[in-house]
Chains A and B, each alone.
Chain A
């Protein structure tokens, strides 16, 4: 499992091997909601997830 750095507290967080871009993780140590970003070379990093409300179409 890849280990990434939490952008909020700097701690480590393990990501499943099959994680997909946009997947959300909660960092148990600091409680941050994090979103996985994957660049065109397949490099993974985490960013703080934005607040998205559930407000959809028909």
Chain B
């Protein structure tokens, strides 16, 4: 089984090629779970509905959406509705039987709500604020996904989880993909993004063994560091290998075989 995650920017810029590439690999007989992001698309719909998206900066420089109750409504509508179903429809048009689910369906993703967040505020000072409706994934129940895959469908998963008080939560799609891959002991985890892979000193790193991560983690930018960290965690927990590669190319899933991007290996 392969878990493929695509971020919102790559998805918006190259949706059709990504889905054609997914269809090609699915038709080769691979079991595929496709986890999509889509933060920028959520922002666009928020503005259409009269809400101005709010963003916050973490102390390590990661910019994230601040999800309050109203924003959560739009987030769920777009992620589990519009975007997820659009992907499913396009896959069907390519001859792929696909089923779209959110992490809340079948109790797939269970997350602990972040009651507080630590941010760098607009004055550049550290502050603790209320956490809103974001969560950190704690449990994955593969029963539903297993049935979907075993029945010959491609699973399209949106990054929403159930909280422990049964509330819906916005969860990071990279984390969702990594958690699903770990639980399923996936053969491969492929994270498609808008860069070619992990770049250090101006050059792409083709292979990274999990034991090498500690040495280099201080040299990686905040957003990429988190992706590499999640890949390292996945490989340490039973995933065969993880790949970070570009979602902007003609056949993005070819990175599964041809050495494109950065491979994270045991």
List residues of A whose CB falls within 8 A of some B CB.
18, 20, 22-24, 35, 49-50, 52-58
Contacts and interface: CB of A to CB of B under 8 A. Distances in A.
B169 A57 contact: yes
B82 interface: no
B39 A54 contact: no
25 contacts: A18-B123, A20-B121, A22-B128, A23-B121, A23-B128, A24-B125, A24-B126, A24-B128, A49-B128, A52-B118, A54-B58, A54-B59, A54-B62, A55-B172, A56-B134, A56-B172, A57-B65, A57-B67, A57-B134, A57-B135, A57-B169, A57-B170, A58-B65, A58-B79, A58-B172
Contacts of A56: 58, 62, 64-65, 114, 117, 134, 172
Q: Give chain B's interface secondary structure class.
A: mixed
Q: Give chain A's interface secondary structure class.
A: loop
Which 10 A/B pairs are nearest by Cβ-Cβ distance? A57-B170, A57-B134, A24-B126, A22-B128, A55-B136, A56-B64, A54-B58, A52-B118, A22-B127, A23-B127
A7 to B, nearest CB: 15
B159 interface: yes
A57 B8 CA distance: 13
Interface centre among B38, B60, B136 (most CB of A within 10 A): B136
Interface in B24-82: 37-39, 42, 58-60, 62, 64-65, 67, 75, 79
A24 B59 CA distance: 11
B156 interface: no
B189 interface: no
Contacts, number: 68
B114 A50 contact: no
B67 to A, nearest CB: 6
Nearest to B62: A54
Contacts of B65: 56-58
B118 A54 contact: yes
Nearest to A20: B127
Given A50-B116, A57-B159, A57-B171, 19 more contacts: A18-B123, A23-B125, A23-B126, A23-B127, A24-B118, A24-B126, A35-B128, A49-B128, A53-B136, A54-B59, A56-B62, A56-B64, A56-B172, A57-B135, A58-B8, A58-B65, A58-B170, A58-B171, A58-B172
A23 B128 CA distance: 6
Contacts of B58: 54, 56
Contact of A54 (B60, B135, B159, B173): B60
Contacts of A55: 114, 136, 172, 175
